[in-house]
Amino acid sequence: MSNSNLHKAKTEKNDEFYTQLSDIENEMKHYKKHFKGKHVFLNCDDPEKSNFWKFFSLNFEHLGLKALTSTHLDESSYKLEICADINGDGKIDHKDVVKTPLKGNGDFRSDEAIEILKECDIVVTNPPFSLFREYIAQLTEYNKDFIIIGNMNAVTYKDTFTLIKDNKVWLGNTKPKTYNMPDGSTTTHGNHCWFTNLDFPKRHEDIILCKEYTPKEYATYDNYNGIEVGDVKNIPIDYEGVMGVPVSYIEKHNPNQFEIVGSFDVKDTFEVTHGYKDLDRCIYGKEAKRCNINNYPLYRAVKDMGKKTCYKKDGIVYYAPYTRLLIIRKGNK
């Protein structure tokens, strides 16, 4: 890879977020039983800057690891490994590091990195967000366990959503927010989360619900057989049909309580009964360009929604909710 392409991949797309040690510690403590006897691969981590390497190298014996390997994207890349008591002090830890130059640039898609991937058991890292689709597809292709950081919006990507819907991927326990940047500054993001396929007790806890369904309080979609639920806490305890819930629901999803059956962002997971032509669009209370809506559920107004964007036709006011996940109570599909 040329210097210009390296620079573009690492900085132009704002992919260089260095995860803080406290965020790594807070998440990894939930998976201790999964690490024993395993080879952990950090395939997007520069050990000189990575707190992932720091955490796993310092806790190698505590976690009972079999091996630890780290690679990263760089012009003169190398891999670091810990797998044996090199210095002869009777324990395996950060003092037993072996450094080996790589022939390529260390990209996670390179032949060298893929060979290590084939041999490892668990991948843990903060991959480039701009390459998240490709990254998680690779982990799936090689059937690897993983704990990785991504943008919450990835839940709505078709391939990622399919994995979530099929209960093959889910969100972790915590949400990293603050990162160190290459220039020494910090940045905060409220929509980042951990994605994993390693199980933990919290994901089997029921969401505590206390509201009952009433047709007056819950709007029914006009062109889809389901109801609109604008807040996770308002999921009705007694409704048996399909419900549209915010994407944030995924943070509390218990696969034993509800089943995810679709997403408004993945069109082949649901089917509307009809579209709409010549709707008058109203944005922030002001008329906008007339439009058609063909493949998105709308619901009729049940109360005054103020300045929220709406659509009007023949005296009827329709609203298009934000992206929704479609869920149904387990066993009622």
Predicted confidence at residue 12, as pLDDT, reads 41
Predicted confidence at residue 184, as pLDDT, reads 82
Q: Which of 115-119, 185-189, 329-333 has the highest mean pLDDT?
A: 115-119
If asked whether residues 99 and 59 sit together in one domain, one would say yes
If asked whether residues 195 and 236 sit together in one domain, one would say no
CA 282 to chain centre: 33
Return the minimum-mean-pLDDT range out of 62-66, 72-76, 158-162, 202-206: 72-76
Per-residue pLDDT, averaged over 251-258, amounts to: 96
Does 84 score more than 60 pLDDT? yes
Predicted confidence at residue 301, as pLDDT, reads 85
What total of structural domains would you count in the chain?
2
Predicted confidence at residue 71, as pLDDT, reads 95
If asked whether residues 212 and 152 sit together in one domain, one would say no
317 close to 311: Cβ distance less than 8 angstroms: yes
Of the residues 179, 202, 225, the one at which a domain ends: 202
If asked whether residues 144 and 178 sit together in one domain, one would say yes
What backbone torsions phi and psi does residue 300 show, to the nearest 5 degrees? Answer: -80, 150
Predicted confidence at residue 112, as pLDDT, reads 96
If asked whether residues 191 and 212 sit together in one domain, one would say no
Compute the distance between CA of residue 241 and CA of residue 225 in angstroms, rounded to an integer: 8
Predicted confidence at residue 14, as pLDDT, reads 56
Compute the distance between CA of residue 313 and CA of residue 297 in angstroms, rounded to an integer: 16
Per-residue pLDDT, averaged over 281-288, amounts to: 86
pLDDT in tens, 107-138: 999 999 999 999 999 999 999 999 999 999 99
If asked whether residues 105 and 235 sit together in one domain, one would say no
CA 168 to chain centre: 12
- pTM of the predicted model, to two decimals? 0.90
Does 61 score more than 80 pLDDT? yes
Of residues 175 and 17, which shows the higher confidence score?
A: 175
pLDDT band at 157, cuts 50/70/90? Answer: very high
If asked whether residues 232 and 190 sit together in one domain, one would say no
Residue environment code for 204-235, b if the CB has 16+ CB neighbours within 10 A, otherwise e: eeeeeeebebeeeebbebbbbebbbbeebeeb
Domain holding 197: CATH number? 3.40.50
Predicted confidence at residue 333, as pLDDT, reads 65
Domain containing 312 equals 205-333
Per-residue pLDDT, averaged over 209-223, amounts to: 95
If asked whether residues 186 and 232 sit together in one domain, one would say no
Half-sphere exposure of 158 (CA within 13 A, CB side): 5
Predicted confidence at residue 285, as pLDDT, reads 78
